Structure 1
Amino acid sequence: MDAFCECLSGVIKSGRYFVGVKETLKAVSSGEAMLVIIASDTSVGLKTDVEKKAKKGKVEALVFAGSMKEMGRVCGKSFKVSCMAITDQTAAAVICSMVDGA
């Protein structure tokens, strides 16, 4: 997971992402989102809703192995982050390949 977090940190530094449910879903519906990442301890209902909307928008959704608190920390936030959208296509492809190769 360290390489994954390092890659995610690079995305955060680039500023090509959105955090939070509203911002993530807005990025999906506008076509900006290339990848959606959901924290593992996000409520089942919310996780299902985000996954459905991502699938409808033809955006891959991955579940982050860590908690919302850990995802917030990786994102450089002092609060919990339930989901995020990555808008950088290259970074999204790298993260997907890391998960597929694991």
Structure 2
Amino acid sequence: MIDIDKALASAVKTGKVSFGSNTALQNAKTGKAKMIVLAANCPKDIKEQIEYYGEISKVPVITYKGGSMDLAEVCKKLFIISALSIRETGDSDILKLIEQ
């Protein structure tokens, strides 16, 4: 079983990750992200839009078990994060989450 916290931290540190729901929505529409992670408390309308476009463009969308403050803590950021897009994973093995 993969530790999502460690995988996310590694992706943020070594890969290319964009923060914010607007960017996540754009990446879901264009299919530029390898994966999108949403906080558990991401606003419902935004979450539904990102999931809808993610499904169309074949970008996996997962919901993180914690809220936006927890997600920010894992990513070592000083701002809350409701959504993040992983464009390149770097040394992280986070994409194995979708295979399970």
Q: TM-score, normalised by structure 1?
A: 0.82
The CA RMSD measured in Å over matched residues stands at 2.2
Give the fraction of aligned pairs with identical amino acids, expressed as a percent: 20
Quick one: which amino acid aligns to residue 83 of structure 1? A
Matched residues in 1 for 2:66 and 2:2: separation? 11
8 Å contact from structure 1 (residues 17, 88) kept in 2: yes
Quick one: which amino acid aligns to residue 46 of structure 1? I
8 Å contact from structure 1 (residues 33, 87) kept in 2: yes
Matched residues in 2 for 1:88 and 1:8: separation? 12
Higher RCO structure, 1 or 2 (CA under 8 Å, sep 6+): 2
Residue 45 of structure 1, CA deviation? 1.3
Query: Relative to structure 1, is the Cα distance of residues 94 and 88 closer, same or farther in structure 2, using a 3 angstrom cutoff?
Result: farther
Matched residues in 1 for 2:40 and 2:95: separation? 21
* Structure 1 residue ranges without an equivalent (≥5): none
Residue 51 of structure 1, CA deviation? 0.7
Cross-structure match for 2:49: 49
8 Å contact from structure 1 (residues 40, 64) kept in 2: yes
The answer to which structure has the higher helix fraction is 1
